[in-house]
Amino acid sequence: MDKAGDSTTPEFEELGPVVKVGETVLIGATVGLWAVLGIYTVGPRETRVILHNGRLTHIESEPGLHWAPTFGREDRVQTTADITFMVPELKVVDTTGVPMIVSAVLVYRIVDCKKALLDIVNVHKYIQAQASAALKLIVSRYSYEALKVESSQVQQQVVDALQDKCAVCGAEIVSMTLNELNYAPEIASAMLKKQQAAALISARELVVEGACTICLDAVKKLEEGGMTLEQADKTRIVTNLLTVVCGEENATPVISV
């Protein structure tokens, strides 16, 4: 006969010290690695946007060492320092129909990193493209001569127009300075001749005005000195003085014998 006490059940054995140490080391290494991977730094004038599983969880702008859970985390970093961009040369037709070449220097900064990193795919390309468009739009409203005189007003108008476009991306436009303003190469030679002709006419007008004043003063002083002059004498004096003053070459004196 079988006895009921003959059936044996397996007994649980305690884990050995090697297994316990191994488990402890493995758990410690996992926790330590998880803690270390969660550490991140934020530099001066820098903002870090942290997302977990596609959701915005934190925005950190305080410089230093920080920590956030690493599982499902995505970091996006944006500097808030001033950024300089050289707007490339653009060919623009001014209000009189004259083609010219214009370029500028743009200075901007990011003031809303959430918009810059989440609402725009590439904030810098967006701002730079809008800068070229705004510069071309505002400059085309002026003539070449007006741009030379009213450059500060034009620059402010470009800044205002660009700021309206960049509000969506969290950027602040600091300044836009015209860097180059020249006639297009195909008309540069003709416009240079035009400027030279205008300068020559202006100089001639000034010379003639001065010559007339000299002639009048000369006749007046001669008469005040007691010299009696006939109309023919006055005409001859005025003619000679105008010839000497207005002539481009040195006058050669002629002595009547």
At 82-106, the pLDDT tens digits run: 999 999 999 998 888 888 899 999 9
Cα three-residue angle 62-63-68, rounded to 5 degrees = 70
Class of the CATH domain delimited by 83-183: alpha beta
Q: Which residue(s) pair with 100 in the sheet?
A: 92, 183
Q: What are phi and psi of 175, to 5 degrees?
A: -160, 160
Asked if 241 and 215 count as a contact pair (C-beta separation under 8 A), the reply is yes
Tokens of 104: 């500028």
**Cα Rg of the chain, angstroms:** 42
| DSSP 8-state secondary structure symbol assigned to residue 251 | -
- The reported pTM is 0.64
- How confident is the model over 178-225, as pLDDT tens digits? 988 888 877 656 667 666 767 777 777 787 788 788 888 887 887 777
Query: Given this model, what pLDDT does residue 257 score?
Result: 47
Cα separation, 47 vs 66, in Å, equals 12
DSSP 21-70: HHHHHHHHHHHHHHHHHTEEEE-TTEEEEEEETTEEEEEE-SSEEEE---
The whole-chain average pLDDT of the chain stands at: 81
Q: Where are the beta strands (DSSP E) in 55-148?
A: 55-60, 64-67, 73-79, 83-93, 99-110
Query: Given this model, what pLDDT does residue 16 score?
Result: 62
